[in-house]
Chain A
Amino acid sequence: MQAIKRKKQKERIIENFFLICAFVAVVSVFAITVFVFYNGIKPFVSNSYPLWDFLTGVEWRPGSNMYGIFYMIVGSVLATFGAILIGVPVAIFTAVYISELAGSRIGKVIRFAVELLAGIPSVLYGVFGLGIIVPYVLKISPNAQGESLLATIMVLAIMILPTVVSISETSISVVPKEYREGSYALGASKIQTIFKVVLPAARSGIMTGVILGIGRAIGETMAVMLVCGNPIAGIPTSLFDQIRPLTTNIALEMGYASGVHQELLYSTGVVLFIFIMIINLAVNKLVKAKVGS
Chain B
Amino acid sequence: MSRKASDFLVKGIIYLATGITLSVLLFIVGFIFVKGIGLVNWDFLTRDFNEKVVYAFMESNDVPLGIDEETLSKKNPYDKRYETHLEGPIYIKNIGAAIAKVAYKNHSTEREQFVITYIEKDSPFHSVKDSTGKDIKIRTDYIVQSINGNDFSGMTLAEVAEAIAAESGELKVKIVQPGGGIKSNIITTLYMVLLSLLVALPLGVFGAIYLTEYAKPGRLVNMIRFAAECLAGIPSIIFGLFGMAFFVVALNFQISLISGSLTVAIILLPVIIRSTEEALKTVPMAFREGSLALGATKLQTIFKVVLPCAVPGIATAVLLSIGRVVGESAALLLTAGTVAQIPGTLFSPGSTLTVQAYYVAKEEGNIELACAIGIVIIVIVIVLNILSRITSDKLDVFNKR
Direct contact of A and B (CB under 8 A): yes
A126 to B329, CA, bound (A): 12
Q: Is B198 an interface residue (CB 8 A)?
A: no
Q: Which bracket fits the contact residues of A?
A: 35 or more
Centre residue among B13, B231, B242, B323 by max chain A CB count within 10 A = B242
**Are B210 and A19 touching (Cβ within 8 A)?**
yes
Q: Is A132 an interface residue (CB 8 A)?
A: yes
> Which of A93, A101, A247 is within 8 Å of B330, CB to CB?
A247
Asked if A251 meets B333 with Cβ closer than 8 Å, knowing A18-B207, A89-B17, A127-B32, the reply is: yes
**Are B235 and A247 touching (Cβ within 8 A)?**
yes
Q: How many residues of B contact A (CB 8 A)?
A: 87
**Residue interface mask B205-243, A partner, CB < 8 A = 1:** 011111100110000000110111111011111111110
B residues less than 8 Å from A254 (CB atoms): 240-241, 244, 334
Q: Is A22 an interface residue (CB 8 A)?
A: yes
User: Which one of B52-60, B123-131, B266-274, B308-316 contacts A?
Assistant: B266-274
**Are A32 and B14 touching (Cβ within 8 A)?**
no
> Which of A21, A31, A92, A132 is within 8 Å of B210, CB to CB?
A21
**Are A250 and B329 touching (Cβ within 8 A)?**
no
**Are B361 and A226 touching (Cβ within 8 A)?**
yes
**Are B28 and A23 touching (Cβ within 8 A)?**
no
A141 to B214, CA, bound (A): 60
> Which of A29, A98, A266 is within 8 Å of B231, CB to CB?
A29
B residues less than 8 Å from A161 (CB atoms): 21, 24
Q: Is B18 an interface residue (CB 8 A)?
A: yes
**Residue interface mask B368-385, A partner, CB < 8 A = 1:** 001100100110011011
Interface residues of B in 44-65 (CB under 8 A from A): none
**Residue interface mask A5-16, B partner, CB < 8 A = 1:** 001001100110
Asked if A120 meets B370 with Cβ closer than 8 Å, knowing A161-B24, A222-B330, A247-B237, the reply is: no
B residues less than 8 Å from A94 (CB atoms): 14, 17-18, 20-21
A residues less than 8 Å from B273 (CB atoms): 22, 25
Interface residues of A, dominant DSSP = helix
Interface residues of B, dominant DSSP = helix
**Are B229 and A280 touching (Cβ within 8 A)?**
yes
Asked if A22 meets B224 with Cβ closer than 8 Å, knowing A127-B32, A276-B235, the reply is: yes
User: Which one of A54-62, A66-74, A173-181, A190-198 contacts B?
Assistant: A190-198
**Are B237 and A189 touching (Cβ within 8 A)?**
no
Whole-angstrom distance from the CB of A36 to the nearest CB of chain B? 5
**Are B377 and A121 touching (Cβ within 8 A)?**
yes
Q: Is B358 an interface residue (CB 8 A)?
A: yes
Whole-angstrom distance from the CB of A128 to the nearest CB of chain B? 5
A85 to B15, CA, bound (A): 19
Q: Is B35 an interface residue (CB 8 A)?
A: yes
A residues less than 8 Å from B323 (CB atoms): 119
Whole-angstrom distance from the CB of A193 to the nearest CB of chain B? 10
A165 to B237, CA, bound (A): 24
> Which of A90, A190, A269, A283 is within 8 Å of B238, CB to CB?
A269
